[in-house]
A and B are shown apart, each in its own frame.
Chain A
């Protein structure tokens, strides 16, 4: 009996991480309400009707920082067409984010999630992870990591989603 109890405990511990939630492509983007570095609250709902590139990043993540100027360029190019970039930082210390942005400012919205709960809800496979959300609030594409080779792909996907009603 003890062996069976041990086995059940083992398998439930083993399988429990698999029961975790993670945002699926084709599913609705989980809502959030986060503050930017100036203390203003931004919600996902407020971005409905726009194509959103939701980028989870951190100041301690090299590829995340490399991607930033590229996202800024995309935002500057398509912002007027209804494209938004929202960078959610998972840094535990907000002052690190403020200090980083002073040295390398960007024109898109930066929110902080020091608790990491929004990142957990979205279920990131890696850092950075970018979710491209359509005008209807549905996640259409997801990209983990960063490589310069991703940029034409991002652009193609953004343009395609902007064309849709």
Chain B
């Protein structure tokens, strides 16, 4: 990564100053308040780069830099607050419609800011949480609320949790010369139920189901579909979507300080998409302060009922949303989690009981392109994080 351009240098400076600001704020707030057990602070940086658009053929991909800060602070023995703040800087190539650039302000860079605040309270064996959050970018606003109730049974062997959430989104169009009526809105309501059960002192499993309904505008304002007769039309998606996801996961400890995590998700929705996701993670202590994680994810999806690779005038719902097509994807990843508490103590940072530094690299590939026979999207993901427990 060569910092050749001035804008790239400015970006790095702003990243570094943001990081410094976050650390200073967190450090100060923890000095003022009396730190209780289990207060946490975490900061993560992720760099994502893919090589093609998920919408348009023969179009460059997206690069994004994301920062996420999370703070959990106990305010009484039974109550804690959770604060999250995120900034995403996304840059993408301009939208193209087969050589004709649809002059959209979507091209170039955009920032998205997000934040959430939640409160968590324990009453005996039950836990109650509630919170709200929002996300803002130049063409998309989202506000959401959530609440959850969890209960432990059987000497903490069993846990049942119910979560509800609702999001209200406003979608704007950045298409110059936009004649359609924007902003449009979209409402998402979600209900999730999960059950966690210990199986042996070295095995734990969980099952869960999430149901959501989405009502409103669910297409992309800047997406223009070129039909088989050469004409152009706006992307049109159904205004209702019912989504179901069922997940089962098992964690198994291995006697040489290793652990295997396996998870499987079955998803289906009213647009006709169904998918299977298999996740496998292997954790291994290399020595007491260093953990290595190897990861594999396989994903297979069937197309939405209305998706067509070559839309015609007969298609009632023309779309170029590659997310809705038939495809498989794979992910391979490696992560290191390094306990740097002793190192930090030597450097004078003694406030935290535990400090972890994590670094990971994931390689994500879609195995089928938007056009049959072509390569699918490939992405590189690098993430660095710092986590502290007080």
Q: Chain A: residues with CB nearer than 8 A to chain B?
A: 62-63, 65-66, 125-126, 147-149
Q: B37 at the A/B interface (Cβ < 8 Å)?
A: yes
Contact B37 A62 (CB under 8 A): yes
Contact A125 B155 (CB under 8 A): yes
Contact B156 A126 (CB under 8 A): yes
In the bound complex, how far is the Cα of B156 from the Cα of A101, in angstroms? 27
Nearest first, the 5 closest Cβ-Cβ pairs linking A and B are A62-B37, A66-B37, A147-B77, A148-B77, A62-B38
Residue-wise interface mask of B (155-173) relative to A, using a CB-CB cutoff of 8 A (1 in contact, 0 not): 1100000000000000000
Q: List 11 A-B contacts (CB under 8 A).
A: A62-B37, A62-B38, A63-B37, A65-B37, A66-B37, A125-B155, A126-B155, A126-B156, A147-B77, A148-B77, A149-B77
Residue-wise interface mask of B (74-103) relative to A, using a CB-CB cutoff of 8 A (1 in contact, 0 not): 000100000000000000000000000000
In the bound complex, how far is the Cα of B155 from the Cα of A125, in angstroms? 7
In the bound complex, how far is the Cα of B37 from the Cα of A132, in angstroms? 25
Q: Chain B: residues with CB nearer than 8 A to chain A?
A: 37-38, 77, 155-156
In the bound complex, how far is the Cα of B76 from the Cα of A148, in angstroms? 11
B154 to chain A, nearest CB (A): 10
In the bound complex, how far is the Cα of B345 from the Cα of A45, in angstroms? 43
B251 to chain A, nearest CB (A): 16
Q: Please name the residue on chain B nearest to A127 by beta carbon.
A: B156
A65 to chain B, nearest CB (A): 7
Interfacial chain A residues near B37, Cβ < 8 Å: 62-63, 65-66
A128 to chain B, nearest CB (A): 13
In the bound complex, how far is the Cα of B77 from the Cα of A57, in angstroms? 19
Interfacial chain B residues near A65, Cβ < 8 Å: 37
In the bound complex, how far is the Cα of B38 from the Cα of A63, in angstroms? 10
B38 to chain A, nearest CB (A): 6
A66 to chain B, nearest CB (A): 5
B255 to chain A, nearest CB (A): 11
Interfacial chain B residues near A149, Cβ < 8 Å: 77
B308 to chain A, nearest CB (A): 55
A162 to chain B, nearest CB (A): 28
Q: Please name the residue on chain B nearest to A146 by beta carbon.
A: B77
Interfacial chain A residues near B156, Cβ < 8 Å: 126
Q: Please name the residue on chain B nearest to A96 by beta carbon.
A: B288
Q: Please name the residue on chain A nearest to B78 by beta carbon.
A: A147
In the bound complex, how far is the Cα of B156 from the Cα of A49, in angstroms? 36
In the bound complex, how far is the Cα of B383 from the Cα of A117, in angstroms? 44
In the bound complex, how far is the Cα of B155 from the Cα of A126, in angstroms? 7
Q: Please name the residue on chain B nearest to A65 by beta carbon.
A: B37
In the bound complex, how far is the Cα of B37 from the Cα of A62, in angstroms? 7
In the bound complex, how far is the Cα of B155 from the Cα of A19, in angstroms? 17
Interfacial chain A residues near B77, Cβ < 8 Å: 147-149
In the bound complex, how far is the Cα of B37 from the Cα of A65, in angstroms? 9
A14 to chain B, nearest CB (A): 13
B209 to chain A, nearest CB (A): 28
A58 to chain B, nearest CB (A): 13
A115 to chain B, nearest CB (A): 13
In the bound complex, how far is the Cα of B38 from the Cα of A55, in angstroms? 22
Interfacial chain B residues near A62, Cβ < 8 Å: 37-38
Q: Please name the residue on chain B nearest to A62 by beta carbon.
A: B37
B37 to chain A, nearest CB (A): 5
In the bound complex, how far is the Cα of B37 from the Cα of A63, in angstroms? 8
Interfacial chain B residues near A126, Cβ < 8 Å: 155-156
B13 to chain A, nearest CB (A): 39
